[in-house]
Amino acid sequence: MDERAPPLDRETSAALRPADHKTELRLWLRLLTCATLIESGIRKRLRETFDVTLPRFDLMAQLDKTTGGLTLGELSQRMMVSNGNVTSIVEALVGQGLVDRRPSPQDRRAQVVSLTAEGRRFFRQMAAAHEVWIAETFAGLTPGESEQLMALLGKAKLSARSTFGEGSRP
């Protein structure tokens, strides 16, 4: 009996070899590069123009979207950062007088955070500039392309969520 294995055809050997996923890898790197590039740019402009950090801006943005404030836990979930992290950012913003923090009337464990009048004024000013910067960032895409990108990222988000589980932010 012939002991040698028969030669494998192309399909079979490809199926046995661990599939390579270079395409997905490149896609991930490109997505990450885009995000990092924009994030650094925005961070720099916020610092230079308003002397504010990006996490503080983000936190204020969450508060500006609501009426009546948010608890630390809600902030943590929406910002997709850890609980303890929110504690310290809020601490800093309270120190700057931009944010208010008081115990929840319903739940004595919880703290409700909201923008002060000054905080809201300041945030709105920053938000206006921020909006223009972001528009500039994507100016190289036609409206149709932006729409497509939005849709594809929506699919990617669902796909990623299903592999890594819920990571908050609706």
Size of interface with a second copy, in residues (CB under 8 A): 58
133 contributes a contact to a second copy by CB under 8 A: yes
Smallest gap from Cβ 62 to DNA, in A, equals 12
Long-range contacts of 1-6 (CB under 8 A, 24+ apart): none
Query: What are the residues whose beta carbons fall under 8 Å from the beta carbon of 151, sequence distance 6 or more?
Result: none
Q: Which is nearer to DNA, 110 or 141 (CB)?
A: 110
Rounded to 5 degrees, φ, ψ at 160 are -65, -40
State the binding partner of 14 from a second copy, DNA, none, CB within 5 to 8 A by kind. none
**SS3 of 169, please?**
coil
CA distance 17 to 74: 46
Quick one: DSSP state of residue 111?
A: E
Q: Which is nearer to DNA, 10 or 108 (CB)?
A: 108
Q: Are 71 and 56 in contact (CB under 8 A)?
A: no
With CB under 7 A as the contact rule, the residue among 90, 98, 99, 115 that binds DNA is 90
Q: Site residues (CB under 7 A) for DNA?
A: 40, 43-44, 47, 53-56, 71-74, 76, 80-90, 92, 104, 107-111
Q: Site residues (CB under 8 A) for a second copy?
A: 18-21, 23-28, 30-41, 44, 80, 128, 131-141, 143, 145-146, 148-150, 152-165, 167, 169
